[in-house]
Amino acid sequence: MFKKALIFLVLILTIPSLNFAEDEPDDRVARLSLINGDVSIKRGDDKDWIAASINMPLQTGDYIYSPKGAKAEVQFDNGAHIRLSENTDLGILNLSGEIIQLKIGTGRATLGIRELSKSGAFEVDTSNAAITPLASGRYRIDVDEDGNTVLTIQKGKSEVTTDGGSVTISNGQRISIEGIDSQEYEIAQADERDAWDVWNDERDGRLTAIKSKEYVPVYIIGVEDLDAHGRWVVAQEYGYVWTPTVVEVGWAPYRAGRWVWRDPWGWVWVSYEPWGWAPYHYGRWAFAPSIGWCWVPGERRAVWRWRPGLVRFAMGPSWVAWVPLGPREVYYWRHTPSVSVGVSVNVNITNSVTIVHRDTFLRGVKVSAPLPPNPFKVGKIIAGPPLIVPTKASLAPLPTKVVPRYAVPSPKVIHRPAVVKTTPPPAPKTFYEKKKEIKASGGLPVKELTHSPKTGEVKKEAIKSKQAMPAREIKSGKGTFKPKETKPSPIERERRNESKKEIAPKNPDKKKALPEGRKETRPEKRPETRKEKKPPVVKKEGVKKQKAIKENKEDKSIKGQREDKEMDPRKGRKKDD
């Protein structure tokens, strides 16, 4: 019995990754896969705009801006992508397992969806419409400075929702939505393709003809960049592996780039190499004598989880070192002091270890200081990332690059309210709010990405739309999105007046005596027929009687003046009545 228990304990200790993988973050990340020009980023946990870098991991709350003369592309983990033209801003409102929700304040963008059934829901929100693709395809979205939206479906089908209702359009159609408070729409055939569409066609063509897909699981993004920067060969021990073809002398994996702080993982590797996404967040690295450094993606049918950086760390008093993990070596996503780890197999490869000063690791600025030649022999090898409290400079992939003024969008556009069909999560904590918790824990990342917003905080980013009417599919034509609760229309007011006319008057004879033309001149809200029926009409008849009595009195006074002088007028009035 004791022997069986001992064997069980040994098995548990030899597979520690199983124990620590249970609480590993499953938050989705997107990749900034293309940059042309001075593209900038505003992280969800920071108020400042920073220079964007290729392969930057994006999360809920992040904003990207493509200024004049620039282009950008964002890839999602389900194979979908969105491309930004110049003068275009994109906000990531929600990046969860259920939905990818984006916001466009102004500009032009094209959304491409590979397989909607496996992607979860998609939603793109603008100032006056929420666009929900209903099928795989390609969707072009144009938003002008006033917030008016034009959706062109080059392939697919989509629902368009506003505060007042929704419509559905299909392949080859275009819908224009104008107005913010009261929207009007026009559906017509799609316009002819322009230079932006041609560029997207060329980009799509390059992505479809990818040889690397034959060796990598289909859900791994970034493999489309491997064909142009490397080749696939067979390694005797690992099968098909990929090796870069153009590298510097003395190059090693995880060297051309920088560690950036991103909660809830902590330190995340951002590669400056155009192909540096898939090989640094999936699989392992090996060194084959006849090949050199090569990336081992693993079994194609296996399910691989995205990881912030697959390396082994070693630390000293003033320096940090790392080496890529080899095949079958255990990865620890967070600092685990209770686990004793050995030296990585790749440490024995010449020039495989990267070592930097602690300040260089934190701030991205090179520091001239003596470093040990073999840090994994003199330093402390740790399981997981190092416990180093980040600084504000640790948030930027290119901390020394200054963002031009024209590369920062107008706050009016960024904070413009948007119509949403799905309520986005609250804003994430700011870095300064999280830093206190990070410092208190000694350098552990913060797992909670969101917090309870202040009053009106979410409304600055997006406003939930009213309950919409059922979507109706329209082929072409103009229309108005009418809210469910509307004021009475003129037709309803006319019917209400007509119903009053049909009520029989109390005095039919007096109605006949009304002058001709009175019916047409009376006001709509207060018909004059009611004035003719009021008691004052009867009072007029009493006045005539009084005049007749006076005339009768005068006649009597002529016949008998003495008798008229002695009569009491009040008694005479009572006698006549």
Half-sphere exposure of 228 (CA within 13 A, CB side): 10
**Spatial separation of the C-alpha atoms in residues 353 and 322, rounded to whole Å:** 6
Q: What is the pLDDT of residue 275?
A: 98
- The β-bridge partners of 131 are 124, 160
Count the helices and strands in the chain (H runs, E runs): 16, 32
3-state secondary structure of 306: coil
Q: Which helix (H) or strand (E) holds 28?
A: none
* pLDDT tens digit at each of 577 positions of the chain: 434 443 333 333 333 333 345 578 878 999 999 999 999 999 999 999 999 999 999 999 999 999 999 999 999 998 899 999 999 999 999 999 899 999 999 999 999 998 886 667 999 999 999 999 999 999 999 999 999 999 999 999 999 999 888 999 999 999 999 998 888 999 999 999 999 999 999 999 887 788 998 999 878 999 999 999 999 999 988 999 999 999 998 999 999 999 999 999 999 999 999 999 999 999 999 999 889 999 999 877 777 889 999 999 999 999 999 999 999 999 998 877 767 787 788 999 999 999 999 999 999 988 888 899 999 999 999 999 999 999 999 999 999 999 999 999 998 888 889 999 999 999 899 999 999 999 999 899 988 544 333 323 323 344 444 334 445 555 556 666 654 343 333 323 333 343 444 444 444 444 444 444 444 444 444 444 444 444 444 444 444 445 555 555 555 554 444 444 444 444 444 444 3
**Spatial separation of the C-alpha atoms in residues 55 and 141, rounded to whole Å:** 24
CA 17 to each of CA 14, 329, 330, 341: distance values in angstroms, whole numbers, following the listed order:
9, 10, 7, 12
Q: What is the pLDDT of residue 303?
A: 75
Q: What is the pLDDT of residue 502?
A: 42
**Spatial separation of the C-alpha atoms in residues 75 and 378, rounded to whole Å:** 41
**Spatial separation of the C-alpha atoms in residues 366 and 359, rounded to whole Å:** 8
Q: Is 196 exposed, middle or buried (0-12, 13-18, 19+ CB in 10 A)?
A: middle
Q: What is the pLDDT of residue 563?
A: 45
**Spatial separation of the C-alpha atoms in residues 422 and 463, rounded to whole Å:** 10
Q: Are 364 and 392 in contact (CB under 8 A)?
A: no
Q: Is 250 exposed, middle or buried (0-12, 13-18, 19+ CB in 10 A)?
A: exposed
Q: Are 430 and 451 in contact (CB under 8 A)?
A: no
CB within 8 Å of 43: residues ≥ 6 apart: 50, 59, 61, 62, 395, 431
